Structure 1
Amino acid sequence: MKTYILNALFLIMSIPSLHAQTLKQVSGNIKDDLSKDPLVGAIVINQNTTSYTVSDASGNYSLAANASDIIEIKMLGYTTFSCIANDLKSTITLKQDDYVLNQVVVSASRAAQKREEAPMAITSIGTTMLEEAKPQSLEQVINKVPGVLMADLGSEQHMMAIRQPLSTKSLFLYLEDGLPIRPTGIFNHNALNEMNMTMAQNIEVIRGPASALYGSEAIGGAVNIITKIPSIVTSAKVQLRGDSYGYRRIDAIVEGTSDNGKLGVSVGGYSAKRENGYLDHSDFNKSIISAIVSYKLMESLKVTSNTTYMKYYSDMGSSLDSTSFYERDFTSLHNFTKREIELWRSTLTIDKTWNKNSKTIAKIFYRNNKMGQIPSYRIKNDWSNPSKAKGEVNESSFQSYGTVVQHNQNIPSLKTTIRIGASVDYSPTAFWANYIDVDRDESGKYIGYFNTDSVLTDYQTNLLNTGLYAQIEVNPIDRLFITAGVRSDHFKYDYSNNLDETAFSGAPNSINHFNAITPRIGITYTMANDLGFYANYSVGFMPPQVSELYRGVKVPSLAPSYYTNYEVGTWYSLPKGLGYVEAAYYYMQGENEIISVAQDDGSYVNENAGSTKHEGVEAALHLKPISQVFVRIGGAYASHTFDQFDTGKEDFSGNTMANAPNWIANMELTFKPKFLKGFRTSVEFQKVSDYYMDNQNTKKYDGYHLFNLRFGYQFSGFDTWINIMNLTDELYASRVSKSAWGENYSLGAPRTFQVGIGYTLSKKQ
């Protein structure tokens, strides 16, 4: 009897060890069900232990589990996969869907992580949305993000508003795979037209300052275009599209991976043009191509190169005055103004995994960019001679050489991840502008010009930006994550003027230094019922732009701008996968914000505002009541005001900032019927409320509301679509401003029919 008891006790005591002995590493590869592309950043969760991992750049994963543990795989834009560990196959394919419970983001830390661990407002526009919306320009998908308004200025040109008024100022950072596409100091508000939309895998939008990680200009927010990685399956894809206003475009991409899985290649791009559009003198053409080559030297070491070349030309028609706008007279006063861009940028990424808890990523980059203009906005009338005007022809260029290195170290015993990084960006730049005389006809149109021997501006600036940053993420208790980070930046502007002090730009040769320490701290907590909360404090920093500091001035006088941001937010996953809701409140204080102040002669001068306040609430609801219907509702209410700002001539304190609508909203209903597999249709509504045209708050623009209707059908490798944009043909302006000379309206597109067809040829695996 005693022996039986002892044996029973021994058996009971051995159960935990027997259970532990069954623990093993389950591993495999995760792919897109349609394209067979590897899925990067898919979350693989052991539901029994709550441990998880994230798939790597090749779609591979490895996770400890018992044979009977339930393994769940989730990714934004894909249906959730679930099965017991013992039944896992070596390759898992996920089907694209409109909604997933937990998003994966990379822009919050420059590494893939679960959305619920990131204490900030960040939204990922996934592959499904990009594929189904078929955007002709990026604002057609970026405006779906709550709290974001990207204004279409035609020809892929744009302005942005993220927790700031609509602005051409350097308040927003544009990134490609985590790297700024332009150096600090020479911001271009149209910079997203330098992106290759064909090669975009997804787009992440950060709302609020991200300077602690990415540095200067990430003030209102950042837009990160994440490019495709080469498909494991050899495939070719071509798309033809056009619209009812002279737009034509062809997209093509060829990609594949060698049989041994080491070499991957993807080459793709598009050529687009518009002729005889809805607005006079608005033709444009753009050709862009990218080549991505990845090579796995060993299982722990991968090298990837990404090279892009672009040529771009656009007419630059005039904005409309109020009479022309409301009478629908879309004739341009200009017929020779233009913008031309030629660029080449390359990035070499070295991805080294030391062990499962240690990884280093180094990016080495080169940029070469040249832009020439005869800008319409520089043409001013000569009031002493009605048949004459003045303007300029200019050219700006830069080259960049730099690197970003980041090391990620996970310390499991402390439930802590440490990320440290450094960046160097050396960018010699040049700017030249020459005065031109412009002829006007009797109707007031600018019909021609001739060069003069008067040089307005001719300078070079060598820009050097060095940065160090560190971020620590701690998980002290289950479901609680604390993130703290800080970045130190040093900027050196080495300015050389080729003109004397009497010139229009007569600033003397000088070296200007700007330094910044930008911290961030945040916390997230998710309750057992999928209700989560976050809070953060962050600081943004922005030195003056080169053009703000030196163009048209005798002595540089602008100070850097600082932004302090406080934010709280929440999210909730509805039961049974019905949907997802999120909301955020922010308060941001700007100090020394650079504002364009109108002068008596109608020109503008940059000045530091004393202080500004930016406050708002953003919310979004994703709802899937049945498998065939998806509802998306997003919007924001915001207030942007001058706290203290006295120019000496006018006191704007307490005024609302110009071009700052209180309300913006975007909603969409999508239907994919079971009875017609492959068919989709959606209706989208966008609302922009009224806003002041000027800082004096003398007149408002009424705002606008748009409806867009989309249809698509996929079958046997084909994809066809019809989009009807601005369904009700509303007359609207994407941006309106008021100056001493009158009102300026940037015409929004009238009702436009977009059609397209694509075909994907894939090698069967």
Structure 2
Amino acid sequence: MLTHLIPALLLQGSFTVNEAPARLDPLEIRATGAQQELGSIPGISLLTREDIDLEAATHPNELFDRVPGTWISRGSGQESLMSIRSPVLTGPGACGAFMVMEDRVPIRPAGFCNVNELFEVNLLQARRVDVVRGPGSVIYGSNALHGVIDVTSQDASDGQGLRGGFMLGSDDYQRYRGALYGEHVALLANYTDAGSFRDDEGYRQWFANGSWDAEIAGATVRSQFSWARLDQDTAGFIFGFEAYKDPVLRTENLNPEAFRKVRALRASSRWTWQNAAGQTLELIPYLRNSEMDFLQHFLPGKPLETNGQTSAGALLSWAPDSHWRLGADFEWADGDLVEFQDQPTQGSPFLVETRPQGFHYDYQVRMLMAAAWAQYQRTFTSGLRLTAGLRAERIAYRYDNRMIDGNTRDDGTPCGFGGCLYTRPADRSDRFDTLAPELGLSWPLGDRLELTGRIARGFRPPQATELYRLQRGQQVADLDSETLDSAELGLRHTGSQLRWDLTLFVMRKDEVISRDANGFNVSGGRTTHRGVEAAVDWQFLPRWRFNANISYAIHEYDFERLASGIVPGNEVDTAPPWLGGARLHYEPSGPLSGELEWVYTGAYYLDPANEHRYGGHDLLNLRVFYHLPASAGTLALRVSNLADALYAERADFAFGNYRYFPGAERRYFLEWRYAP
């Protein structure tokens, strides 16, 4: 396998190749809110605007294939599950393991994550995307457990005048984009209407972003808004061993009635003051609202869930000198969730009785979060750089059940077989306090070689759904915050034609939240994670560049739950040890250029007992670009799954069945883009 042939040749990203070799400038990140060299922190990757434009991804999965140790598992339409130095995590609160940010602000309030939340972010027209692999720094806080995705949107400095384009492709795919840049203002938007090779599957998606730059009262101000909407016709799993290879089964949709509707609106404003002494004060107030309706086609009875959150907050940081940064975060949120089933459940007498028609949940949760953090950095005469920090955070929930307490029907009558599946706990309040330290070192070993190391703690409080959306008669979910302790060591070389980096990590996660044999939400689980990630970028000829990324990691259970097949030493399900990709990029002096890409997902177990397995897959993608004369724009031809492989985007084994989201066969996309 190619994975075993090139484990030493690695890298993320793609770059524009000039006619002559060009020195690779040091990459920079926003991991501390201020610019800082990439070499000072291990386990962080940058997707540049060139990467984003080159990929022109139709799904986040395609873009993040360029990042070591990262897999955005594609579901139906724009749905996804995240994996960053982790298994693909599922369950109502699993999304709390990752923080998704836009312009330094989390896109959702603490405690109200969504596993598919990447479909609320305009990745297509982003300026850059930073990916922190492993726990975030003390600046991030709740949910920066396994990783952070920080999207930076464009502003007026990213273009001039009007830009636009469209892309047409297989399965009735259409996408249109436009952007307008002024002296201080930028407006960007795109719209997608996509069909599918599967029956009754497709989506329509809208994005709009805007920014405004100004100088007000001695402050540099950048204000921005983001709006997203998704209207999706969803397809569920197909069933049967290797059903994704069957030409009939792979196109079936057993849930043509399924749908998802999403709306999200966010606004923030970053105010920065700097005095003559170099002291810097930064304040970012923000507002957010999101709403979602979706049919839970994967549950007996197929209830409809409606949820929403309105939230506001502020991020404050102060740098009194070149060593210290101090900060405080405040956030308020008001969320609600309603679940309603309009038809009687079909199936066994047990299912009919325990999953009744009518309302199952109707509750409101108010959340308050406050945090304070401090970070110290110092560079010694030897070049050794020290970073140390500590964060203290409190999150408090106030839950209001707007229905009858307990596990009865909505009219108060009892269900058979010991009660309804759905349990509504009585009104209550919960509070979670966490301390999270970090310590990092970087040491230059020469002009272009640097050794980095870091130990850190990440954490996530229980999400609202884990605490209050209970089942099977559980009256109280007595949960603790999950914590993840991480140690990593990195070595990075940055040369004029060759750049590579290598990172080793080991992590232990405690108080893992899961469901026990009774269906109760419980803490107390533990998992271990260890691995190596690497990347290389090599411009080996003036017009040729090779880059690749690869990772090998083992994720194991370190506790026992025999009813679920969990025993210490078993690999966590849906956690492929091998992930990787490689790209060969050619850009001659003429108008034609191209890139050939290989993406690899290794074999992985489908169940905690490690009794069922998916064999993994290799994919090839081709991108060819032609720059039209007279500044008439650029034509691009993209061929996805060039070898026409039959594969599964995600595989699973549950309730005695193999289940798959089948991957698409070979697809073609033609794009025209105008950017004067």
Q: Fold conserved (TM > 0.5)?
A: yes
Q: 1:418 aligns with which of 318, 324, 328?
A: 324
Q: How many Å apart are 1:505 and its aligned residue?
A: 2.9
| Kept after mapping to 2: 8 A contact 1:579/1:623 | yes
| Kept after mapping to 1: 8 A contact 2:501/2:534 | yes
Q: 1:435 aligns with which of 341, 352, 356?
A: 341
| Kept after mapping to 1: 8 A contact 2:460/2:481 | yes
Q: 1:663 aligns with which of 563, 575, 578?
A: 578
Structure 2 Cα separation of the partners of residues 79 and 687 of structure 1: 24
Structure 2 Cα separation of the partners of residues 655 and 537 of structure 1: 26
| Kept after mapping to 2: 8 A contact 1:436/1:452 | no
Structure 2 Cα separation of the partners of residues 99 and 375 of structure 1: 52
Structure 2 Cα separation of the partners of residues 700 and 401 of structure 1: 44
**Corresponding letter in the other structure for 1:528:** G
Structure 2 Cα separation of the partners of residues 595 and 279 of structure 1: 33
Structure 2 Cα separation of the partners of residues 284 and 517 of structure 1: 42
Superposition pairs of residues 136-155 of structure 1, within 5 angstroms? 136-155=58-77
Q: Which has the bigger relative contact order, CA under 8 A and spacing at least 6? A: 2
Using a 3 Å threshold, how does the CA distance of structure 1 residues 79 and 410 change in structure 2: closer, same or farther? farther
**Corresponding letter in the other structure for 2:295:** I
Using a 3 Å threshold, how does the CA distance of structure 1 residues 97 and 433 change in structure 2: closer, same or farther? farther
SS of alignment partner, residue 74 of structure 2: strand
Q: How many Å apart are 1:605 and its aligned residue?
A: 5.2
Q: 2:29 aligns with which of 87, 95, 105?
A: 105
Using a 3 Å threshold, how does the CA distance of structure 1 residues 636 and 742 change in structure 2: closer, same or farther? same
Using a 3 Å threshold, how does the CA distance of structure 1 residues 351 and 616 change in structure 2: closer, same or farther? same
| Kept after mapping to 2: 8 A contact 1:474/1:481 | yes
Q: How many Å apart are 1:177 and its aligned residue?
A: 1.1
Q: Where does residue 503 of structure 2 map in the other structure?
A: 584
| Kept after mapping to 1: 8 A contact 2:269/2:285 | yes
Say which is worse superposed, 176-185 or 289-298, in terms of deviation: 289-298
Superposition pairs of residues 338-417 of structure 1, within 5 angstroms? 338-355=259-276, 357-378=278-299, 380=300, 390-411=301-322, 417=323
Q: Where does residue 623 of structure 2 map in the other structure?
A: 710
Q: Where does residue 381 of structure 2 map in the other structure?
A: 477
**Corresponding letter in the other structure for 1:190:** N
SS of alignment partner, residue 238 of structure 2: coil
Q: 2:490 aligns with which of 569, 572, 591?
A: 569
| Kept after mapping to 2: 8 A contact 1:236/1:254 | yes
| Greater gyration radius | 1
Gaps of 5+ in 2: 1-12, 348-354, 408-421
SS of alignment partner, residue 377 of structure 1: coil
Q: Where does residue 132 of structure 2 map in the other structure?
A: 206
SS of alignment partner, residue 313 of structure 1: strand
Say which is worse superposed, 154-163 or 559-568, in terms of deviation: 154-163
1:467 aligns with 2:371: yes
1:271 aligns with 2:198: no
1:501 aligns with 2:405: yes
**Corresponding letter in the other structure for 1:274:** A
Q: 1:557 aligns with which of 456, 475, 478?
A: 478
**Corresponding letter in the other structure for 1:491:** I
**Corresponding letter in the other structure for 1:183:** P
1:743 aligns with 2:658: yes
**Corresponding letter in the other structure for 1:646:** R
Structure 2 Cα separation of the partners of residues 647 and 499 of structure 1: 35
SS of alignment partner, residue 749 of structure 1: coil
| Kept after mapping to 2: 8 A contact 1:246/1:274 | yes
Q: How many Å apart are 1:556 and its aligned residue?
A: 1.6
Aligned length: 631
Q: How many Å apart are 1:408 and its aligned residue?
A: 2.2
Q: 2:182 aligns with which of 247, 250, 256?
A: 256
**Corresponding letter in the other structure for 1:427:** A
SS of alignment partner, residue 478 of structure 2: coil
Using a 3 Å threshold, how does the CA distance of structure 1 residues 79 and 485 change in structure 2: closer, same or farther? farther
Using a 3 Å threshold, how does the CA distance of structure 1 residues 742 and 97 change in structure 2: closer, same or farther? farther
| Kept after mapping to 1: 8 A contact 2:385/2:442 | yes
| Kept after mapping to 2: 8 A contact 1:77/1:100 | no
| Kept after mapping to 1: 8 A contact 2:171/2:194 | yes
Using a 3 Å threshold, how does the CA distance of structure 1 residues 592 and 680 change in structure 2: closer, same or farther? same
Using a 3 Å threshold, how does the CA distance of structure 1 residues 373 and 78 change in structure 2: closer, same or farther? closer
**Corresponding letter in the other structure for 1:268:** L
**Corresponding letter in the other structure for 1:517:** L
1:130 aligns with 2:45: no
Q: 2:526 aligns with which of 611, 620, 644?
A: 611
Say which is worse superposed, 352-361 or 464-473, in terms of deviation: 352-361
Structure 1 Cα separation of the partners of residues 563 and 655 of structure 2: 18
Any idea what the Cα deviations from partners look like across 1:161-203, whole Å, max 9, x if unmatched? 1111012312111010111101111111111111123430011
| Kept after mapping to 2: 8 A contact 1:514/1:543 | yes
Q: Where does residue 194 of structure 1 map in the other structure?
A: 120
1:334 aligns with 2:255: yes
Using a 3 Å threshold, how does the CA distance of structure 1 residues 559 and 308 change in structure 2: closer, same or farther? same
Superposition pairs of residues 81-100 of structure 1, within 5 angstroms? 100=24
Using a 3 Å threshold, how does the CA distance of structure 1 residues 534 and 502 change in structure 2: closer, same or farther? same
Structure 2 Cα separation of the partners of residues 758 and 96 of structure 1: 26
| Kept after mapping to 2: 8 A contact 1:153/1:748 | no
Q: Where does residue 555 of structure 2 map in the other structure?
A: 640
Any idea what the Cα deviations from partners look like across 1:282-329, whole Å, max 9, x if unmatched? 21101121121111237x522221112222111121111125423132
| Kept after mapping to 2: 8 A contact 1:418/1:472 | yes
TM-score by length of structure 1 reads: 0.79
Structure 2 Cα separation of the partners of residues 432 and 407 of structure 1: 41
Q: How many Å apart are 1:348 and its aligned residue?
A: 1.4
